């Protein structure tokens, strides 16, 4: 017997084309999509334990947030309107030194709550005290790729690397297979070449991918050029980083040779338009990256530089930023933006074939969006409505690994009031 039958829903599969099954059914068995097709074609109501009425709703893959620092929800609106390096060194890093395990747990729970409520089903995180992040992921029911952030030029460089290894041993494939562990060298300006080489060797030994900030600001490009005579991408290539699967966050300041290196090495890019705009870092050349065949996913970055984790908003910003930056409104159309937030995100995280599309045999990670909203009327174009007019509160139901995490906007795995109360107490202690 199947577990869930979603009936009479508009299905956006993201299987390559913009086609929509207008009146479709989705059958879920265990953690996977068992069948999908026109209304009445996949199962009878009697054959499913649970039937969900999908009328007036869109079913689509859950959003994949390819770059964040989950527990930085604790630092939301604590330090704003500053450039990256000043923001990090004067405001963020001093407070992060005071973070306790419970701060990380409740900060991550707050992140998971916000993500579920805005339709994200998978996220890629880089932070520290990662066992607490993993516990929050396990409790929330989300899927995540987690990496211990590694600052290689500080006093904890060696210890951090050991922690990443232990975290891998303990949590890779954890939470029922929903957690994948990566290694997280923070950036080329915080990780000297010898340290990067150590990280590469260890990640290679464990078969893990790497998650790193790359070419985020002009000052990073200048600094790396002054130290190594190369661009950040050229420098990382020269130390052998791209021999492993790499998730490169930001990639704002690239030249044509950098783009060619990223394409040739199948590097996945996590584009973070709102963080890049807020820190005035610049506009990543997404149109050029896509044209060169680089897979670009979408990320929010941490809630301290965004200041939310809303992927619907991020998609809209991504499309708008490309248009204003190139002066070409045809660049990054709505469906391309939607792909970065779903199918591309899955590929960038090495999870293509499992998530990012609605397809028989793939993981049942999907969301239902309420179409019956004033800002979705009239319904000329469902995809343009979603990308250019959608709002996080339109997300009605969230399913991950076949489990319902939110239904009718009620989160089932997390006590919302408890999480907000605990997060506020700890944020007050940290920066009060
Ligand atoms: C060592 S864990 C991750 C580390 O990254 C910091 N961080 C947050 N946002 C950014 C960003 O946009 N660029 C570079 N580093 C960032 C975060 O505060 C943690 O210290
Ligand atoms: Zn970041």
pLDDT in tens, 355-390: 999 999 999 999 999 999 999 999 999 999 999 999
Ligand found nearest the CA of 270:
2
pLDDT in tens, 275-331: 999 999 999 999 999 999 999 999 999 999 999 999 999 999 999 999 999 999 999
Amino acid 429: pLDDT: 95
- Span from the CA of 85 to the centroid of ligand 1 (angstroms): 10
For ligand 1, whether the C-beta of 69 sits within 6 Å is yes
Residue 224: pLDDT above 90? Answer: yes
Q: Which pair of structure tokens corresponds to residue 129?
A: 């005290």
- Span from the CA of 66 to the centroid of ligand 1 (angstroms): 14
Percent of the chain with pLDDT over 90: 97
Percent of the chain with pLDDT over 70: 100
* Homologous superfamily assigned to 72-348: Metal-dependent hydrolases (3.20.20.140)
Closest atom of ligand 1 to CA, residue 279: 12
Phi and psi for 409 in degrees, rounded to 5? 70, 10
pLDDT in tens, 45-78: 888 999 999 999 999 999 999 999 999 999 999 9
For ligand 1, whether the C-beta of 126 sits within 6 Å is yes
b/e burial code for range 45-73 (CB count within 10 A of at least 16 → b): eeebeebbebeebbbbbbbbbbbbbbbbb
Residue extent(s) of CATH 3.20.20.140 domains in the chain = 72-348
Residue 414: pLDDT above 80? Answer: yes
pLDDT in tens, 158-206: 999 999 999 999 999 999 999 999 999 999 999 999 999 999 999 999 9
- Span from the CA of 88 to the centroid of ligand 1 (angstroms): 7
Query: Which one has a higher pLDDT value, 138 or 43?
Result: 138
Amino acid 301: pLDDT: 98
Residue 43: pLDDT above 90? Answer: no
Pocket test for ligand 1, best of 82, 83, 92, 167 (most atoms within 8 A of CB): 92
What are the DSSP calls for 113-168, one per residue? HHHHHTTEEEEEEEESSHHHHHHHHHHHT-EEEEEEEE-TTSTTHHHHHHHHHHHH
SS3 40: coil
Q: Helices 416-431 and 101-117, interaxial angle, to 10°?
A: 130
Note the helical H segments in 209-280.
218-228, 232-238, 256-264, 273-278
For ligand 1, whether the C-beta of 151 sits within 6 Å is yes
What average pLDDT score do residues 237-257 get? Answer: 98
Amino acid 44: pLDDT: 86
- Span from the CA of 401 to the centroid of ligand 1 (angstroms): 29
Phi and psi for 14 in degrees, rounded to 5? 60, 25
- Span from the CA of 220 to the centroid of ligand 2 (angstroms): 14
The residues near 103 (Cβ < 8 Å, ≥ 6 apart) are 71, 74, 426, 429, 430
For ligand 1, whether the C-beta of 128 sits within 6 Å is yes
Which DSSP symbol is given to 206?
H
211 known ligand binder = no
What average pLDDT score do residues 242-268 get? Answer: 98
Ligand found nearest the CA of 78:
1
Interatomic CA distance for residues 45 and 406, integer angstroms: 22
Rg (CA), the chain: 21
Pocket test for ligand 1, best of 83, 195, 276, 302 (most atoms within 8 A of CB): 302
CA distances, 304 to each of 79, 308, 331, 357 (Å): 7, 8, 29, 30
235 known ligand binder = no
Please report the beta strands in 251-340, taking only residues with DSSP state E, as ranges in sequence order: 268-271, 296-298
SS3 324: helix
Task: Give the other-Cβ count within 10 Å of 369's Cβ.
Answer: 25
- Span from the CA of 215 to the centroid of ligand 2 (angstroms): 12
Pocket test for ligand 1, best of 66, 149, 223, 430 (most atoms within 8 A of CB): 149
Residue 142: pLDDT above 80? Answer: yes
Residue 156: pLDDT above 80? Answer: yes
For ligand 1, whether the C-beta of 96 sits within 6 Å is yes
Pocket test for ligand 1, best of 66, 80, 84, 186 (most atoms within 8 A of CB): 186
Amino acid 208: pLDDT: 98
Residue 432: pLDDT above 80? Answer: no
pTM value surpassing 0.95? yes
What average pLDDT score do residues 79-96 get? Answer: 97
Asked if 338 contacts 14 with a C-beta cutoff of 8 angstroms, the reply is: yes
Interface predicted TM-score of the whole assembly (ipTM), two decimals: 0.99
Q: Which pair of structure tokens corresponds to residue 97?
A: 């030194």
Place of tokens 């791209």: 242
For ligand 1, whether the C-beta of 275 sits within 6 Å is yes
* Homologous superfamily assigned to 2-62+365-411: Urease, subunit C, domain 1 (2.30.40.10)
| Summary mean pLDDT of the chain | 98
In the chain, DSSP finds a helix count (H) and a strand count (E) of: 17, 17
Total residue count of the chain as it appears in this document: 432
The protein residue whose alpha carbon is closest to atom 9 in ligand 1 is: 302
- Span from the CA of 230 to the centroid of ligand 2 (angstroms): 22
- Span from the CA of 69 to the centroid of ligand 2 (angstroms): 6
Residue extent(s) of CATH 2.30.40.10 domains in the chain = 2-62+365-411
């Amino acid at each position: 017997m199947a577990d869930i039958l979603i009936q009479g829903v508009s299905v956006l599969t993201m299987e390559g084309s913009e086609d929509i099954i207008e009146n479709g059914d989705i059958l879920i068995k265990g953690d996977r999509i068992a069948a999908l097709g026109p209304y009445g074609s996949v199962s009878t109501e009697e054959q499913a334990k649970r039937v969900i009425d999908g009328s007036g709703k869109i079913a689509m893959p859950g959003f994949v947030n390819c770059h964040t620092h989950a527990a930085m929800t604790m630092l939301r609106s604590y330090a704003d309107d500053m450039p990256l390096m000043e923001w990090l060194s004067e405001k963020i890093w001093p407070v992060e030194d005071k973070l306790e395990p419970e701060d990380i747990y409740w900060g991550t729970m707050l992140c998971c709550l916000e993500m579920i409520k805005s339709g994200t089903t998978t996220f890629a995180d880089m932070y520290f005290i990662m066992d607490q992040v993993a516990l929050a992921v396990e409790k929330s029911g989300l899927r995540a790729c987690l990496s211990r952030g590694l600052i290689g030029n500080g006093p904890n460089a060696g210890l951090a690397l050991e922690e990443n290894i232990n975290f891998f041993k303990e949590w890779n494939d954890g939470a029922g297979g929903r957690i994948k562990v990566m290694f997280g060298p923070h950036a080329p300006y915080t990780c000297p070449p010898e340290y990067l080489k150590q990280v590469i060797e260890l990640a290679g030994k464990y078969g893990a991918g790497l998650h790193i900030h790359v070419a985020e600001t002009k000052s990073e490009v200048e600094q790396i050029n002054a130290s190594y005579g190369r661009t950040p991408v050229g420098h990382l290539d020269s130390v052998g980083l791209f021999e492993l699967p790499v998730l490169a966050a930001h990639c704002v300041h690239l030249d044509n040779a950098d783009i060619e290196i990223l394409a040739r090495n199948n590097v996945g890019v996590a584009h973070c338009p709102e963080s890049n705009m807020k820190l005035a870092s610049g506009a990543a050349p997404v149109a050029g990256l896509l044209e060169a065949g680089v897979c670009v996913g979408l990320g929010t970055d941490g809630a301290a530089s965004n200041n939310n984790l809303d992927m619907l908003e991020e998609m809209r910003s991504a499309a708008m930023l490309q248009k204003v930056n190139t002066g070409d409104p045809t660049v990054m159309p709505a469906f391309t933006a939607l792909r970065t937030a779903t199918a591309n995100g899955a590929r960038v995280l090495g999870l293509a074939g499992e998530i990012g599309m609605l397809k028989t045999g793939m993981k049942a990670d999907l969301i239902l969006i309420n179409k019956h909203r004033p800002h979705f009327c009239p319904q000329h174009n469902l995809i343009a409505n979603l990308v250019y007019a959608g709002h996080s509160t339109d997300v009605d139901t969230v399913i991950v690994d076949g489990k319902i995490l939110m239904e009718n906007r009620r989160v089932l795995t997390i006590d919302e009031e408890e999480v907000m109360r605990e997060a506020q107490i700890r944020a007050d202690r940290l920066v009060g």
